[in-house]
Amino acid sequence: MKKITFLVVLALLLSLSTLVACGGGSTPTSTSTTVTMGGTSFDQSSVTVSKGSTITFMTDPTGTTHNLVNGTNGKAAPEAGAPSFGGGQLIGTGKSWVSPPWNTAGTFHVTCTFHPNTMTMTVTVTG
């Protein structure tokens, strides 16, 4: 009986180590993309991220304060599947803010309510 128990435990340990080594049951790793904001613009008009990733929005030290919302042309209009920016994310000069994860594939928009004509960015989520 001891020999059978030993063999069963050994088989379970080998199976578990194989799962861990092969990445079985693991979740996708998330990454963060950084977008810098100057005086009245994003440093890029569009970004592509994979599901589960975040975006770090950073205001240039010589820039100005921005208020980011989901939407276009300075208007909050959250799109289904976009992470919530609440009532807007106020980011002061030289400061940064990390968005919640982008968990839904699709195309979304981020805009600044203070600079509606020059700060609208497209976010494409893949995966």
Cβ-contact 89, 65 below 8 angstroms: no
Q: What does 33-83 look like in DSSP terms, one character per residue?
A: EEEEE-SS-BS-SEEEEETTBEEEEEE-TTS--EEEEESSTT---PPTTSP
Put simply, whether the predicted model's pTM sits higher than 0.85 gets the answer: no
Render pLDDT for 40-65 as a digit per residue (tens, 0 to 9).
Answer: 999 999 999 999 999 999 999 998 99
Please, which residues bridge with residue 125 across strands? 49, 106
Q: In percent, how much of the chain has pLDDT > 70? A: 76
- pLDDT of 32: 87
pLDDT at position 105 over 90: yes
Distance CA 101, CA 74 (A): 22
Pairing of strands 66-70, 54-59: unpaired
Render pLDDT for 84-96 as a digit per residue (tens, 0 to 9).
Answer: 999 899 999 999 9
What domains can you pick out in the chain, each with its CATH number?
Answer: 32-126 (2.60.40.420)
